[in-house]
Amino acid sequence: MMSFDNEARARESVIRAARGMARAGLVVNKAGNVSARCEEGGRTAFLITPSGMDYESLRPADLSLIYWDDGTNKWVHSGPHKPSSEWLMHAEIYRAHPGWGGVVHTHSPRATVLACRQTPIPAFHYMVAASGGKDIPCAKYALFGTPELARNVLEALKERRCCLLAHHGVVAAGSDASQALSLAVEVENLASMYIELLALGPVEVLTEGQMHEVLGKFKAYEDNSRRLSRGEPALTRPDGMPLWRYADGRNISCTEKVKVLDENFREIGRLMADALDDAVLIGCPSEQYRRALENLAAGLKSRYPDQNPAENSQGGS
């Protein structure tokens, strides 16, 4: 049986994301699937949840390993169970996007409502930019588990990291399974807000220019996150402080980000604790999780103090 250097870590990440997906209400019963890339030497390989197994009882050894065999020019499956019926969709996504390390497929209720109407999510809120573009598109319908569905999803994901699947559900991708799950949660959140707005009447959306500005900021954050995930140092200013770079080359210091984080941290902590329902994803009570987040904010503020005393003396924020 083929094995890969980072296979153990990938197995654990799939289990965590699969259970998180179920606990967040993004799937019912045994629906949906999660995968994580584990490859070496340029060979595309990934681990995926098996077909028809309850996520809470899932163990790392239950996952299916799928990799591309250059000798036969075919995908090879190994593992004790049949892989998810959507394995081909995951396989083609990984092959088309070498930088992506995790994929989550959900049937989350609100987003699936829009998918069943074949209604993309427009830029009514700036967080739509989390998709990587100015909307969240809807892939054309095709029977689940088919090459046609895989092709339709790839088309929708050409310039996006997530999409709706007509009459089906949602696909979200990220640098790992955890990031893909976070994006899937955001898609459901945006879908819920958009449906409520539609009930109130016509929905106003952000302009092309406004979304271009938002996407520039998102790209700056992602660029530094990608550097850190590769073990590279964050970009820094001449004084050594970390910085973030906009798409147009302008820099923003980490201290500016921390100030925003500090101003909103208590509210963020409360919302995260509520949404995670006693922080099940990390296995600790919500109050303990909230305190951990507050300590993180205090630590960041201490590590990156304000670098503009003149602004402070004038009462700036």
Catalytic residues: 86
Element (H, E) at 203: none
Element (H, E) at 32: none
Helix/strand number for the chain, H first, E second: 9, 10
Distance between alpha carbon 221 and the CA centroid of its chain, in Å? 14
- How far apart are the C-alpha atoms of 3 and 133, rounded to whole Å? 36
Secondary structure of residue 76 in the 3-state scheme: strand
115-119 long-range contacts, Cβ below 8 Å, gap at least 24?
Answer: 115/164, 115/165, 115/166, 115/167, 115/168, 115/169, 115/170, 116/166, 116/167, 118/166, 118/167, 119/164
**How many CB atoms are closer than 10 A to CB 267?**
9
Q: Look up tokens 């890969």; give the residue.
A: 4
Angle, vertex CA 57, rays to CA 17 and CA 36, nearest 5? 30
At residue 180's C-alpha, the angle toward residues 303 and 165, to 5°, is 150
Exposed (0-12), middle (13-18) or buried (19+): which is 186, by Cβ within 10 Å? middle
User: How far, in Å, CA of 6 to CA of 139, rounded?
Assistant: 32
45 pairs with which residues across the strands? 67
**Distance (Å, whole) CA 295 – CA 50:** 39
Q: Counting every residue, how long is the chain?
A: 317
Q: Are 167 and 141 in contact (CB under 8 A)?
A: yes
